[in-house]
Chain A
Amino acid sequence: MAQTGVVKPKRTLAEKLNEEHIAGMICTAPFTIGFLLFMIVPMLISAYYAFCDFDILSPAVWTGLANFKTMFSEAKFWKSLGVTFYFAFVSVPLRLVFALIVALILLRTTKITALYRAVYYLPSIIGGSVAVAILWKRMFGNDGTVNVLLRMLGFEGKIKWFGQPGTAMWTLIILAVWQFGSSMLIFLSALKQIPASLYEAGEIDGANKVQQFFRITLPLLTPTIFFNLVMQMINGFLAFTQCYIITQGKPMNSTLFYTVYMYQQSFEFYKAGYGAALAWVMLVVIAMFTGLLFATKRFWVYEDKR
């Protein structure tokens, strides 16, 4: 590299390209181009549809704020928004705690942990398949596995998991927690990144395992926890499959996810303009929460200040 610098004009170019602010733009250019080429246009089109009456089959007609007015007066909109908040705020923390615990358990490297990791990751692979949908209904059914187990534990009476508005939601939350695989993988690789020397030093200082976890592992893991939290929260708000394949919002819209409501309006009732308006409202909601999370970042996320 040093030799190429001998020729003068070339050197200035190479140097220029090497300057941090130029290099930064070059490195991020793929995203900049991709964003401008593939994302911005569809996003603008959908933003336009949000102000239109658009049934997919005929040209969109500008209706101004009509979609938003309908939306805010629609009981189903508020209902699905509430359901989605409930789902996101319950399932995301549960999923992350679960993923972290399992990642810690499977951190030790033995031959068999490789298999265990695969086993624990499998549910995330088969995610939204028909088989899961059928089986989930079967497991939480009236005579399903869950009720049989509860009876063995001494609980009397059959719980109608899907039949009651209060419990139906929990079957979806459990499904979401069950698929903790991707967060687990991210935790696993982050845990592997923590230098062993830190633990050695901790041991010399006489810290036990629990102390090591709270003083070394957890602080160093906070950037990953933050990342998982942001991603899973976005995912939680945009959750679709669980509801779509299993409950379809039943009973009485008590499990109607926002995205499923949006999907129903866009593709079943052909109100794609209204659907687009719903999507942009959701974007604003998510952006607000993400902004909030980022604002709290400096209080609890560890940063390498060396």
Chain B
Amino acid sequence: MKKIALILALVMIASLCMSAMAEENILVTWWGNQTRNERTHAALELYASEHEGISFTEVPNSWDDYWKKVAADIQGDSIDVMQMDYQYLNQYSENGLLLDLTPYVESGALKIDDVNEGIVGSGKVGDGLYAICIGVNAPALLYNKTLLDENGIEVKDNMTLDEFLALSREIFEKTGYKTNIGYGTDMVFGYILRGYDIDLFKDGKLNITAEDAEKFFSLYETGITEGWLVTSDVFAETAVGTVEQDPMIYGSDPESMSWCAFFWSNQVTAMQNAAPEGMEVGITTWPSADPVKSNYLKPSQFFSVAAKTQHADTAVDIVNFWTNSVEANEILLGERGIPASAATAAGIADKLDEVNQKVVAYINDVVSPNCSAVPAADPAGASEFYNLVDELQEELCYGMTTAADAAARLIDECPANLK
């Protein structure tokens, strides 16, 4: 008992000493996989080597765990720099948990001159700037290029919905492969509606009617009636949203597979790695009634500084370093998306591998010239709303409801705080 108490005391003292020894210890937390952890660590080491007296506490976690941990910790002052996602930005900033970076931009401590104005704007909530984008993305329709080439089927960029439906029918007839219209990918819903000039949310409230919602659900209905939609049991058998188990690359026969997948441009590498040998992954835009109105560059990931940080200046400097240092980004290599700063992006262009160069070309040549402003960040309660969309989609696939009925119920059962 005594020995154990002693060990315990030692462990506690040791951990206290470690945090007290360095002059300034910055806690940086993020979610991601091993590649990201390695690169982030290396970039932080680079920063530490350039700045004496600064050390880092690194707290990587997986996505789910990350938001639990941060929600608990952010009330205290332990977090300095944290990775932020678009869907949580409103909620965190409205609760006063994030530091407004505007004064630092004005003083020049945070340089964002080379960042596209729209991208900077995506980190704004009200008058404050609460997050800096550290990677740009775009919606990307990934497809089994090998399969389509073999069958002489061509896919063109900026497809309209009708062209997409025609293509799905053609592929189903020629190859038997089915189509997955982004089952479980939340943003597809809003994307399709943007093509009709409809914003999903406005001023924190739901902004659509049942007729609007039906435009989306009727895609499912069409696919089911005509037989080319991936059936619901396929989704029950896989972990929806994971790259490795997406029906485009995972499955035993065409009947349970899809020729395409609704993903994001920073997932191309992952998809290509997970694809069976010999399958080339193609990349094009998500279909829409009006692709130019629908499409956008999405700030994929952000850094925010916690409001209660004791090291605001250093924390902001790290965000600045992340945005503007070419050396740091030569380590990061666009793993979170293409650097938001044009100068930085240009600086690392020739260091990228083949797949990532393809992604850069896609973003610069296909999306950038043909897109509109990014939709406003989702209001609190959006995740519950998307969950409802998923459930209705599922019922639709099981033939338990119709597109019209699903649309009516979506409006009816929408979470109270969005009504």
Query: Residues of A with Cβ closer than 8 Å to B?
Result: 55-58, 133, 137, 140-143, 160, 162-164, 168, 247, 250-253, 264, 267-270
Which positions 233-249 of chain B face chain A at CB distance < 8 Å?
233-239
A147 to chain B, nearest CB (A): 12
Closest to A264 in B: B387
A57 and B236 form a contact (CB under 8 A): no
List of B residues within 8 angstroms of A143 by Cβ: 252
Instruction: Please pick, from A58, A264, A267, the residue contacting B68 in the complex, using a CB distance under 8 A.
Output: A267
A137 and B74 form a contact (CB under 8 A): no
**A168 to B237 CA separation, bound complex (whole angstroms):** 10
B236 and A163 form a contact (CB under 8 A): yes
**A160 to B400 CA separation, bound complex (whole angstroms):** 17
List of A residues within 8 angstroms of B231 by Cβ: 163
List of A residues within 8 angstroms of B256 by Cβ: 142
A34 to chain B, nearest CB (A): 15
Q: How large is the interface on B (under 10, 10 to 19, 20 to 34, 35 or more residues)?
A: 20 to 34
B266 to chain A, nearest CB (A): 23
Instruction: Please pick, from A58, A163, A267, the residue contacting B232 in the complex, using a CB distance under 8 A.
Output: A163
A57 and B91 form a contact (CB under 8 A): yes
B395 and A252 form a contact (CB under 8 A): yes
A251 and B381 form a contact (CB under 8 A): no
The contact sample of 24 A-B pairs, CB cut-off 8 A, is: A57-B71, A57-B95, A58-B95, A140-B237, A142-B237, A160-B233, A163-B233, A163-B234, A163-B236, A163-B237, A250-B235, A251-B236, A251-B394, A251-B398, A252-B394, A252-B395, A252-B398, A252-B400, A253-B391, A264-B387, A267-B71, A268-B383, A269-B415, A270-B380
List of A residues within 8 angstroms of B394 by Cβ: 250-252
List of A residues within 8 angstroms of B236 by Cβ: 160, 162-163, 168, 247, 250-251
Instruction: Please pick, from B91, B235, B252, the residue contacting A270 in the complex, using a CB distance under 8 A.
Output: B91
Decide yes or no whether B67 CB sits under 8 A from chain A.
Answer: yes
- Asked, given contacts A162-B233, A251-B394, A269-B381, whether A137 binds B67 with beta carbons under 8 Å apart, the answer is no
B386 to chain A, nearest CB (A): 10
List of A residues within 8 angstroms of B232 by Cβ: 163, 251
Decide yes or no whether B201 CB sits under 8 A from chain A.
Answer: no
* Additional A-B contacts beyond A251-B398, A264-B387, A269-B387 (15; CB < 8 A): A55-B380, A137-B237, A142-B237, A142-B252, A162-B233, A162-B237, A163-B232, A163-B234, A168-B236, A251-B233, A251-B394, A252-B391, A252-B400, A267-B71, A269-B381
**A19 to B74 CA separation, bound complex (whole angstroms):** 51
**A154 to B303 CA separation, bound complex (whole angstroms):** 59
**A56 to B91 CA separation, bound complex (whole angstroms):** 11
List of B residues within 8 angstroms of A264 by Cβ: 387
List of B residues within 8 angstroms of A55 by Cβ: 91, 380
List of B residues within 8 angstroms of A252 by Cβ: 391, 394-395, 398, 400
Decide yes or no whether B384 CB sits under 8 A from chain A.
Answer: yes
List of A residues within 8 angstroms of B92 by Cβ: 57
**A142 to B250 CA separation, bound complex (whole angstroms):** 13
List of A residues within 8 angstroms of B395 by Cβ: 252
Decide yes or no whether B188 CB sits under 8 A from chain A.
Answer: no
List of B residues within 8 angstroms of A250 by Cβ: 235-236, 394
List of B residues within 8 angstroms of A140 by Cβ: 237
Decide yes or no whether B97 CB sits under 8 A from chain A.
Answer: yes
List of B residues within 8 angstroms of A267 by Cβ: 64, 67-68, 71
Closest to B390 in A: A250
- Asked, given contacts A143-B252, A268-B383, whether A57 binds B235 with beta carbons under 8 Å apart, the answer is no
List of A residues within 8 angstroms of B91 by Cβ: 55, 57, 270
B243 to chain A, nearest CB (A): 14
**A153 to B122 CA separation, bound complex (whole angstroms):** 60
Instruction: Please pick, from A57, A137, A247, A270, the residue contacting B97 in the complex, using a CB distance under 8 A.
Output: A57
**A57 to B400 CA separation, bound complex (whole angstroms):** 37
**A250 to B183 CA separation, bound complex (whole angstroms):** 13
Closest to A76 in B: B391
**A247 to B232 CA separation, bound complex (whole angstroms):** 13
A142 and B238 form a contact (CB under 8 A): no
List of A residues within 8 angstroms of B238 by Cβ: 137
**A131 to B59 CA separation, bound complex (whole angstroms):** 25
List of B residues within 8 angstroms of A247 by Cβ: 236
List of B residues within 8 angstroms of A142 by Cβ: 233, 237, 252, 256
